[in-house]
Chains A and B, each alone.
Chain A
């Protein structure tokens, strides 16, 4: 079956602009996670959804970052007033309820110039 998909695969934006990154989880997966992977580092947790609600947003670095999942499926990560330090690969993962194995998408590479 289809895995986790993320769009766009690459995004280049200017400092100060607003961006949206989209994640389509595996069908039937109720849990959805966003991670950020900076160059040469491991992924870092941003936010976790169970269904439509953000169950844990403790990893969001500041209030410029926001994520939604209005219908419990597709999720959008939104970054306002982008900064060069936001440049990274943003990874999305999903899992079945009660399962701990997370399936990752290919990521969106965000470059802020």
Chain B
């Protein structure tokens, strides 16, 4: 079985500030990890993924995440927030089986 915990259901940052969205997972097998973004009334769009290899992965829109096995974490970061980054962000894990298990989501708000 696998699970995902996203700390902070709401995160607010100022435009230009660092974005840090936290994700911790549990998995009985080596995990594949994903971050998705969801804009209002839209489906989920993949930001980035970790499968194997390099633990620092870069995604679209300037986001990146680092897989830390020892901490069972996969936190999402972006050096400088933009107003267009305001959305809901979901961390997900694929463990045993093909389905994704999602966290509860973090709503990112960007203040001008």
Q: Quick one: which of B44, B51, B103 has the most chain A CB within 10 A?
A: B44
- Are B98 and A55 in contact (CB-based, < 8 A)? yes
- Is B42 in contact with chain A by the CB < 8 A criterion? yes
- Are B99 and A45 in contact (CB-based, < 8 A)? yes
- Is B74 in contact with chain A by the CB < 8 A criterion? no
- Is A71 in contact with chain B by the CB < 8 A criterion? no
Contact of B102 among A40, A43, A55, A105 (CB under 8 A): A43
Roughly how many angstroms separate A102 CA and B98 CA in the complex, as a whole number? 10
- Interface size class, chain A: 20 to 34
- Is B27 in contact with chain A by the CB < 8 A criterion? no
Q: How far is the CB of A52 from chain B (nearest CB, A)?
A: 16
Interface SS of chain B: helix, strand, loop or mixed? Answer: strand
- Are A106 and B43 in contact (CB-based, < 8 A)? yes
- Is A56 in contact with chain B by the CB < 8 A criterion? yes
- Are A100 and B94 in contact (CB-based, < 8 A)? yes
Give 1 or 0 for each of A1-44: 1 = CB within 8 Å of chain B CB: 00010000000000000000000000000010101000011111
Task: Decide yes or no: A100 and B42 within 8 Å by CB, A42-B103, A42-B105, A43-B90 being known contacts.
Answer: no
Q: Quick one: which of A31, A45, A105 has the most chain B CB within 10 A?
A: A45
- Are A100 and B51 in contact (CB-based, < 8 A)? yes
**Set of chain A residues within 8 Å of B103, measured between Cβ atoms:** 42
Q: How far is the CB of B73 from chain A (nearest CB, A)?
A: 17
- Are B99 and A4 in contact (CB-based, < 8 A)? no
- Is B17 in contact with chain A by the CB < 8 A criterion? no
Give 1 or 0 for each of A46-80: 1 = CB within 8 Å of chain B CB: 00101000011001000000000000000000000
- Are A48 and B43 in contact (CB-based, < 8 A)? no
- Are B99 and A59 in contact (CB-based, < 8 A)? yes
Q: Point out residues on B near A: beta carbons under 8 Å.
A: 4, 32, 34, 36, 41-46, 49, 51, 90, 92, 94, 97-105
8 cross-chain pairs, A with B, having the tightest CB-CB distances, nearest first: A42-B102, A45-B99, A104-B43, A104-B44, A106-B43, A43-B102, A42-B105, A42-B104
